Structure 1
Amino acid sequence: MTVKGLFPRRRPPAPTAGWWAYALPLALMLASDYKLRSREVDQSVGGSADLTVLLEIGIYGAAALYLAYRFGLRLPTRRTTGLLFAAWAWAGYAALSSLWSPYKSLGVVRAGELLITVLVAHMVATRARPEDLRRLAHAFIAIVLASVAIGAAHPFPRTSHTESRFNWLYVHPVIAGVYLGIAVLLTVGYLIRWTTPRDRLWHPIVYVGVLGLLSAALIATQTRGAALGCAIGLVVLLSTARGPRGRIDVLVLGAAVSALGALAFSDKILAFVSRGETAEKLASLNSRTDLWALAMKAYAESPIFGRGLGASRGLFLEDIGLGGGHNAFINALVDNGAVGAGIFAALLLTLAFVLLLLARDRALRQDAGMLLGILAFFLADGMTTEGLATQANVSAVWLFILVAWAETLRRRGRELQALSAGSAAAPQVERHPQHA
């Protein structure tokens, strides 16, 4: 089989918004998470900036300047959708809360990065096409695959807590698990497209090989939240992307895999879950329950508007030695209060509702089902990590990508309806030429 056969081009490329629609979101992710050095949490909340931080800020600024240069700074003229409004409302309120954050330098920087992220997503949502997001997804898979190769070829120094866990560069295994979980879901999402193979950019054999490598790397990170989230995301993806037939597949395959795992790999599964930790540490979810008790006390001190953007990164360092809420929803409560957490929940619910509506359309079902799987992954992973409710990380950027992708699918659905209506009206025009 030739290389050309592995990466087929079955049709000319569809008109797209251009390289920026997939390059800018990827640049924001890499600038936020891929580091060539490691810093303690107290250094980041203290407001100190080194060359790496300045580079990250510069990349975000360059993205904003490029969009301003290409599209101008005029206000949008189209009526916005409820989903885009919810995205802007969450970003706007979170950015506003930086004004009363105890760590103003960190809060202001993160507020700017958050607003730039939602600006990029808004431009993608209003100008890109599903084909652009398809390229973004495959580029993301390729980047994660290259990252796995880097991690295997040159392991960087690790802390005592991550010594036995796989990662790359100075990306924490928890963040690496998020990258790998998303990449696994994207790979499966394109692999199962038997009825629309034109959506694939690679040969099915390539997807199978990539899936095996990414799955092995995800297990090697020993990130339990990401592994559980990926499993839940796969169930949601397979149940929705292929309609009723997919739900039967999930039932049959799920029963078979569960039985096989229980019989043949029970020891390895238990070792993965326990990760060599004591029963006391497992019961406290690696001190997370203690952290959450402190977080709720901090929330009680400012329950309406929250402690301010970035507050949770430093509030618990002195008491427990951990930064961040280690739970997306608790983190939103501490930083943004009941108002911000309500807006955050409204965004997630609106996104889920829109994707469920899109999944009812057979032409859009596979993309919508894949996005629902990724959203389910984030909700499950968000039980033990705060990334979804924070800023400048892969989870936060992908949340807004999901919003933008959903909007491009809605626009594609309207186009297909218009084409269908036009083809249905064409015979009537032929029968009544006087109306031409």
Structure 2
Amino acid sequence: MMLRALAALAPAALAMSGIALVLPASAQQAPAIPGVDAPELARLGTHPVGVADVEFVQPGQADPLSEGATPAIVDRHLPIKVWYPAATPGPGTTYRAALPGENGADVAFTVPGIATPGARAAAGKFPLVILAHGYSNVPEALSWLGENLASKGYVVVAPAFRDPAISNRTPAAAAGPLARRPLDIVFAAAEAQRRARAGQGVFAAADPARTVLIGYSMGGYGVLTAAGAPLDSKLAAATRGVLAPYVTGGAKAGDMRVADLKAVVAIAPPGNLRGTALWASPGVAAIRTPTLFIVGSQDHVVGYDPGVRTLFADEVHAPRYLLTFREAAHSIALIGAPPEMRKTFWDEDWFEDSVWRKDRLLAVQAHFITAFLDRTVKGDAAKGAYLDGLVPNSDDGVWADAPSGRYAGYSPGAPASTIWKGFQPSRAKGMSLEYRPGS
């Protein structure tokens, strides 16, 4: 199935990924493969991709979801999916996962992938990325980003947090992800860094001194916390005491940080959960790591302004970008709905936006995340041209000498064009990109 899924891959992307296949075009395409109208940096990188499944175990953890007067102390088991640059091309894979349906029961689905399970890792040391999914979600729904970044020379570690069903709206259920998301992210980063330093398995390819955090929705809350935003004291009660030692002023508040952090990407992160503030003063102003915020202007789950735009404005001590998809809502970071998830509105609404094509949303995000990480983490100064000096409103770009007609070439950027660099002339529409330097 994975081999067939590569049939629709653009020739340029095939060349970049080292894959050459001639297969039926009717099969579902792997979400990591950008479409023909994707911006320039969305294309796959030069590395084939491998994938491995491992488990991290953190002993002696308070379980906010356990029964009883106080949370039980248990070993916390985290299934981990690792995408990494591989030494040689392989046949790809089919991911199998499930998301809770409207009644809470799991609905199973499959996702085609370009990664090959167990492939030998490429030689070299690559930045380490921790990729955190949203409430009640799964890593496989972010495979588009994990695989895409791995092809470009990143080791991507994606924990499965095993949240309660999102349809369970009780405070007790919310206590689980609220408590465990930042704790799990900090632990997963430290454990991946430890294994990298020890040269264990696929982690030997990771450079722990260049660590990146990427989080979507609840994962965005987690990565901003792990980057330094201090937890509000109210979260102690909201998490049955699990976060009490870690809130501002707590004995372990200083432990809620990821070491060697070089960049943060927060996609649709909440600033509060069901009315509960997440961070104490100074909030995200405590973060000093370069940050890319991504959001839809009609995100009514976490809010836009006030909301993610507020977080962007408040993170005053870090250089940061805000990429806005005008009229998009909250479901901007997951793959397009698999066939199995198109039978009910609830299932499809996990994945699809009402205005934007999903493959378009993912391609634009891949483009900007690549530019941001390559420049910030790898020191590739040339990628700055894809981020800096752009007209804030993509609709305002002009390319006077652009070839007429249905032209597929990319804008060269300034000074020849103010159309966003790397975008086709007719495709830089409906977005804004803003930048603020840190103080």
Report the TM-score when normalising by structure 2. 0.30
Q: Which has the higher contact order (CA 8 A, sep 6+)?
A: 1
Report the TM-score when normalising by structure 1. 0.31
**Which of the two has higher C-alpha Rg?**
1
Identify the structure with the greater strand proportion. Answer: 2
Identify the structure with the greater helix proportion. Answer: 1
